Structures are given as structure tokens and as C-alpha cells.
Structure 1
Amino acid sequence: MNSEFLNQATSLLMALSQSFFEDDIENAKALAGHWLQSIATGSPLIFDNSGNLRATVLKTLGDASLFVDESQFSSSLWEGVIFPPNSTSHFKFIDLFAGIGGFRLALQSVGGVCAFTSEWDRSAKKTYEKNYGELPFGDISFFSGIERSDEFINNSIPDHDVLAAGFPCQPFSHAGVSARNARGLKHGFECETQGTLFFDIMRIAHAKKPKVLFLENVKNIVGHRKGETFKVIKSSIDELGYDFKYKVIDSSPLVPQRRNRCYMVCFRKDLGVDYEFPEISGEPLPLKSILEEEVGDVYTISDKLWQGHINRTSRNLERGAGFTAHVADLSRPSNTLVARYGKDGKECLIPQEGKNPRMLTPRECARLQGFPEQFCLPESRTPAYKQFGNSVAVPVVRVLAESIMERLM
């Protein structure tokens, strides 16, 4: 991989992109990266309302002999990217609360081109940039906050067919701003979702009206607050003109991990699509199938930590509540990988002959989520565990993406 061209092109555009984000270097860099990939995919540029911006960007690149024509530019740019889009694209998507790009990896594999991406966690953004050659924008509320008009959202977020988001589960307040007083919105979801990240999804969907909303969350969102949270999500999406469909899916037939997640696929009603989730079934995959053959002692947990797990497990079993920590059965899928795994590894401890059990390595965590071997890992373990624990299971998203594309094409 040669990233020199990408880095040089990004640096050239920074002066221009900083005019849109004067005091925010990271978002200015994200904007420059988005411009480069938009040129390579023949897409409109963010904030280019008149068409003059594209000409300015191309001249800047051309003066440095980085742009001759789109074919040359695309070829040079993608040489510096581990996971570029397919050469043949069929649809565009945006990647919100993007994490390390699990949705992007899956959607690109079925012919998608990412038009916009956002993620607030700085460490996850670095991992995302290493693999896709594009730094995500930060806090999505810059683009979709209540003070933003639909016109601003339309001008700043590119048109897209699919809005993809693995959004956090948050309690919805009933004390938000009245819908009648909300700027540019006349929908009931406003007062109930104000201040949550789901609100930002709804604002963008209201303004851009993509064909499909493709969302993911923890399985407990269905029963969160006795079902009230999910009721608000369903009614909000329905009010925006989308047909709400959901299913809780276990990933273990596709990756060796029991990961039950709630997936929501919502087609715009005017498209007349009666979507049905594909069946994901089969024998659960064994944990041993993704383990590395040689692992350093740094992953073996200490005597103190292991004894602490044993003691707490014993106490919790006696009282019938709390966590338990046992070594994993390698012939079965692992427990769900979670963001806190790096703290003590209790969710998945690998047995070792003559030693205390060990934690999973970051590469094994990547495999548990279905990331390919060439995926570039974070440089240290702590952020790696958090990032993979927060990620989606890529093969599950890919199967759903294929079924979505069958109905879109």
C-alpha cells in the first residue's frame, strides 16, 4: 500500500477545507478526505452548493500534478487505501456512528460507495482512517443538531440511498422541545428523541429521505424501559414514511461468537418494498477456529486477577446474581465480545495447559467480528478491545446488505 499520494493530496486541500472548519483541524482533515474520495467516485463535493468548489479543488490538485483525469486520480488514490470501494458501484450510503467501519466493509462488498462518515471516538477514527483512507467527521450534531435547518443538512450531507448506523441505546426524554416549535420539523418524534443520537438519524432521514434506513442496536433495545424506547423508535420511523421491520439475529452461524443484535431495515414506503429478513441459520461455529497458534505470555492473566475471578464467581453463584467467569469451551462460540473486555477479559478466557487462562488477542477479536486478516489493527490493546467490542459482526451485515440490494436493484 502506498499512502504517499493520499497524504500529499490531503495536505494540499487543508488550507481550503479549514475555511469551513477554522478552529477544528480534525474536521477540516475529514472534509479534505471526503473531497478526495468524492472526486475518485465521481460524486458531488460536500459544501459545493454552486459547483465552483469542485473546480477549485481540481485546480489545486492539478497544479501539483496530482490530478490529470479521474481515471488516473482514482487509481493513484485507491493504491493508498486498504479497503477501497468496488470498481463497479450500484448505490451510495452514509456511515453514521461508524466505529471502525463494520457497516462500510459490508456495504462496500456488495457494491456500495460511502458518501459520508461520522464517528466521535478519536481512537476509532484513527483505525477507520488507516483502513478506508478517510477520516470520519466528529460529532454528528454539527450537521444535524436542532439549530440546523433542513437546507443546511441537504447542502452538507451528500445524497445517498442507504443510511447505515449502529447507534447507541439511550433513554428518550419526554421533556424535549415541542415539535411545533422545532425548526424545520413537524414530526412528533422531535419532543421524545431530543438530545439522543437517534434524533440525529431522524433529522438526516427527514431532510435527505434515503431509500433505506439500515440500523443496528443491542437486542435489549426491544424491551428497554418496558418497550417504550422501541415504541418511540418504531413510531418515529413510521412517521417519516418508512416501513419499519426488525429482527434479532444471532451471529454464531457466521462467526464463532454468540452475538444477538437487533437489526432494523426500513424501506421508504413509496418504494412499495415488502422486505423480509433473510434466514441466518446453521451450526454455531467453534471458538477454536479463530484462535492464533502462538500467543505471547502478555495475554495470560495474572494469578491475582484469576483468583479474583474465581472468588467472585463462587460468591455470585451462591447468591444467584452477578457475573461468572469460566474458561471458554473452545468447541462452542464465544460469549458476546463487549467494549469492556480489555478490563479483565472475564467474558472470554482461553484455557491454557499449565498456565492461567489468557485473554483474546486483538486479531482474534477482529476475527470474532468477521474482519478480514488485512484489517489494520489499533496500535495498542486497550482501544482495540473497545473498538471490536463496539463493532458489528461484518458477515451478518453483509448478508442483510445483499438482501437489501436485491430489492433496491
Structure 2
Amino acid sequence: MPTFYEFFAGGGMVRAGLGRNWRCLFANDVDLKKGATYTANWGVKHLHIGDVAKLGIGNLPAQADLAWASFPCQDLSLAGAGAGLEGDRSGTFWPFWDLMRQLGKEGRAPRMVVLENVCGALTSHGGKDFAAISSALTGSGYRFGAVIIDAVNFLPHSRPRLFIIGVAPENPIPKELTSEGPTQPWHTDGLMQAYGALSGRAKAKWIWWQFPQPLPRSQNFVDIIEDKPKGVKWHTAAETKQLLAMMSAVNIAKVKKAQQNGGRVIGAVYKRTRTNDAGEKVQRAEVRFDDVAGCLRTPAGGSSRQSILVIEGKKVRSRLLSPREAARLMGLPDDYILPQKYNEAYHIAGDGVAVPVVRFLAANLLERLLLVWKEELAAA
């Protein structure tokens, strides 16, 4: 059974995606509330709550096949303050990587490493942060490559994310898992530009990972919406009217078109700050009716909480997305235990990794690599 360390574990969505055929050796997060959710779903046996910078390799048992780190994105996000890997939050990558280096000195380096973050990590500090991560990997001997995977391929949820996958030098990589150059949709223009700016040393260790095309998505946004939601209340008629009043003419036109449909139509709504014709910054409500939700975020203020519009002819109702609906957008099963408080539950979902994306990576790369290595070891 393959083994893993799960850093910045949150509610354990990586663990959910890897599945029961993987064994967790160690999990870590600094947040007590996230730790409580992790414990509720996975138990406390392998969980360590605390600052990653205060961990030592004595905390990490054995040698893991995989170390997964979904390190904080706030300083790398296009919506952040631009501190990058020098920031207090995204900068926690460095103490994590110091642990990986120390494990390497002991001969216990993980055979594979997966780093997950927002796509803004490619351009943060003019690409210097991505180059620094690449140098960290190559400096420890890892061969690596990166892909962009959007959760919308598997879920009704627009969530493109960067995945950097590294393999320790002593482990062979089958040719069928790689390509000679970039392939769509995994290697976007932005990723190729970031690759082009890497050092010659990093490019020499680069791998163009190859993945099969995902099967057509079978689920739409309407499919995850609860008829009788828990944890949220429907807006009053006045609150719905106020939400509609925050829409631009373009978005009001979308609502009117949905009303003309005659049936039940559900749209996803976000509040965003936009500049109006007078050059003033105003808060706008923007709706989409393409059967896909906008990217979930953590609820750092009411504007980042997603709402829904339910339109049935002339009738228009609105409310916040429920905690369970948010969890479903991340691919979590309905028996996943969520916090009781709305913001805490929404935070768990908005700060996580889409479960089917983890499964896709595991099934089409990580587990295939491990199988090859196991066969080679048996033949030796």
C-alpha cells in the first residue's frame, strides 16, 4: 500500500482523493478548526497541529512514497498583496522544503512530491517565485514538471490550479507517462511562458507530463443544489431585489433571458468590485448560467461568499450557497463531516483541493509510477 505525508492538510481533501488504497503516515496543518474537521473525518492518529516551521524530521515516520503540499496561496494569488514566497503565508513553502531536504540527507526523501497552488504562482514576482520552487526541486535532485488542471473537467466548478510533480532521481519514469513537449489542456500558455524563463539547470530536469483526456463531465451545477438547504436561509424579497440592483445591464439581461426559458434555471452569483463609467469602484453582483459555479474562495468577508439565483418564470429567489453545496463543488461525499458554523464549513471547502482532481492525478500518474517501480523491484 503506497504511503504519503499530507502537509497543509486542511480538511483532508488530498487524503479523500488518494483513497483507501493509500496509507497516511503524517498530516499537518496549523489551523485548529481545520484540524478538528480533519479529525472528525479521518481520526487524530497521524495528525499534527502546529506550525510547519516547528516540525523536525523526527515527526515524520519512515519514508513516504509521496509528500503532498498544498501550501498557502494568499501571497501568490493575483488577488493578494504580491508578497510571493517572501510572504508569511505562502512563504511556509520554505520550512516544508527544508524538511524534504533533511529527509534526503537521511536517505528518506519521498519518492514523489506534489506541490499544489493557484496559477498566480507562475507569474508571482515576474516568475521568480516559480523559478525558486523549481530550483528547490532540482537542488534536491528531483526531476519535475507542472500541469494546470481545472476542476471543471470533473465538477461543475471552475477551479484551475497548478500542480508541480517531482520524482526522486533514482526512480525511472516510463516514456508513456511523458511527452516530447507541451500538450493541451495541461500545459497552458502561461505555464509554457513560466517554463521558458527557467534556468538551463531547471529545464534539464523538466518533464512534460502526459495525461489522458478526462471523460465528459456528467454533473451540472443544478445537480448539486439542495431543495431544502441546511445552514442557510432564503433571502427575503427585499434582499433578492437588492442583489439584482447590484447587477450591471449585461447581468440583468442574463437574468431576463433565464426567465424567458420558462423552466427552472439556477445561476451562480459572486459580488465583485468593479470600476463604473465614472471611474468609481463599486460592488457588483455578477451571475453565470452556464451550469458551472465560479471558483470557491475562503469567506474573508461577505463579498467572497457565493450565492445562487433560482429562477422559475417570473419568480426569482436567492440565497447563499449552502455548506453542503460548497462541499459537493469540491467533490466531497455527502457523508463528509462539515463544521457546524457556516463560515468554517465554507472555509474548509474554499481552501481545499478538488477531490476528483487528486484522484485523476493519482490514477494516471502517481499510481502508475509506483506500479512500475514495484515491478522493477520485484524483478531485481
Q: Give 1:283 shift.
A: 4.4
Partner SS, residue 241 of structure 1: coil
- 2:361 is aligned, of 372, 383, 400, to 400
Give the partner amino acid of 1:114.
C
Larger relative contact order (Cα-Cα within 8 Å, sequence gap ≥ 6): 2
| CA distance 1:256–1:323, shift in 2 (3 Å) | farther
Per the alignment, residue 71 of structure 1 pairs with none
Per the alignment, residue 117 of structure 1 pairs with 27
Please say if residues 297 and 304 of structure 2, whose CA atoms lie closer than 8 Å, have aligned partners that are also in contact.
Answer: no
Could you report, residue by residue, the CA deviation over 1:295-328 in whole angstroms, capped at 9, with x for unpaired residues?
A: 3694323567555545554493634877642344
Could you report, residue by residue, the CA deviation over 1:188-246 in whole angstroms, capped at 9, with x for unpaired residues?
A: xxxx8696210122112112211011111011111112211111111111111111211
Give the partner amino acid of 1:326.
E
Could you report, residue by residue, the CA deviation over 1:154-202 in whole angstroms, capped at 9, with x for unpaired residues?
A: 3221121110111013659xxxxxxxxxxxxxxxxxxx86962101221
- Tell me the TM-score normalized by structure 1: 0.64
Q: Give 1:269 shift.
A: 2.0
d(CA) in 1 for partners of 2:233 and 2:27?
A: 34
- 2:131 is aligned, of 221, 226, 231, to 231
d(CA) in 1 for partners of 2:125 and 2:102?
A: 29
Give the partner amino acid of 1:386.
H
Please say if residues 30 and 52 of structure 2, whose CA atoms lie closer than 8 Å, have aligned partners that are also in contact.
Answer: no
| CA distance 1:277–1:303, shift in 2 (3 Å) | farther
Could you report, residue by residue, the CA deviation over 1:354-394 in whole angstroms, capped at 9, with x for unpaired residues?
A: 35411111111111000112111111211001110001100
Per the alignment, residue 244 of structure 1 pairs with 144
Q: Does 1:318 align with 2:229?
A: no
Per the alignment, residue 279 of structure 1 pairs with 212
Count of residue correspondences: 291
Q: Give 1:349 shift.
A: 2.2
| CA distance 1:408–1:359, shift in 2 (3 Å) | same
Give the partner amino acid of 2:124.
H
Per the alignment, residue 92 of structure 2 pairs with 197
* Identity score, percent: 25
Per the alignment, residue 292 of structure 1 pairs with 226
Please say if residues 232 and 320 of structure 2, whose CA atoms lie closer than 8 Å, have aligned partners that are also in contact.
Answer: no
| CA distance 1:297–1:199, shift in 2 (3 Å) | closer
d(CA) in 2 for partners of 1:252 and 1:293?
A: 23
RMSD over aligned Cα, in angstroms? 2.8
Partner SS, residue 350 of structure 1: strand
d(CA) in 1 for partners of 2:285 and 2:49?
A: 36
Per the alignment, residue 80 of structure 2 pairs with none
d(CA) in 2 for partners of 1:295 and 1:119?
A: 30
Give the partner amino acid of 2:23.
V
Q: Give 1:344 shift.
A: 4.4
Per the alignment, residue 72 of structure 2 pairs with 168
Q: Does 1:358 align with 2:319?
A: yes
Please say if residues 120 and 139 of structure 1, whose CA atoms lie closer than 8 Å, have aligned partners that are also in contact.
Answer: yes
Please say if residues 140 and 200 of structure 1, whose CA atoms lie closer than 8 Å, have aligned partners that are also in contact.
Answer: no
| CA distance 1:194–1:294, shift in 2 (3 Å) | closer
Please say if residues 309 and 346 of structure 1, whose CA atoms lie closer than 8 Å, have aligned partners that are also in contact.
Answer: no
- Comparing 92-101 with 127-136, greater Cα deviation is found at 127-136
- Comparing 258-267 with 199-208, greater Cα deviation is found at 199-208
Partner SS, residue 58 of structure 2: helix
Partner SS, residue 271 of structure 1: coil
| CA distance 1:140–1:278, shift in 2 (3 Å) | farther
d(CA) in 2 for partners of 1:370 and 1:232?
A: 32
Please say if residues 299 and 305 of structure 2, whose CA atoms lie closer than 8 Å, have aligned partners that are also in contact.
Answer: no
Partner SS, residue 261 of structure 1: strand
Per the alignment, residue 31 of structure 1 pairs with none
Partner SS, residue 285 of structure 2: coil
Could you report, residue by residue, the CA deviation over 1:28-74 in whole angstroms, capped at 9, with x for unpaired residues?
A: xxxxxxxxxxxxxxxxxxxxxxxxxxxxxxxxxxxxxxxxxxxxxxx
d(CA) in 1 for partners of 2:32 and 2:235?
A: 28
Structural mapping, 1:3-152, within 5 Å = 90-109=1-20, 111-134=21-44, 136-141=47-52, 143-144=54-55
Structural mapping, 1:323-338, within 5 Å = 324-329=284-289, 331-338=290-297
d(CA) in 2 for partners of 1:270 and 1:297?
A: 50
d(CA) in 1 for partners of 2:366 and 2:139?
A: 21
Q: Give 1:124 shift.
A: 1.0
Give the partner amino acid of 2:42.
Y
Give the partner amino acid of 1:121.
D
Q: Does 1:218 align with 2:121?
A: no
Please say if residues 249 and 263 of structure 1, whose CA atoms lie closer than 8 Å, have aligned partners that are also in contact.
Answer: yes
Partner SS, residue 116 of structure 1: strand
Unmatched 5+ residue regions in structure 1? Answer: 1-89, 145-152, 173-191
Greater strand fraction, Structure 1 or Structure 2: 2
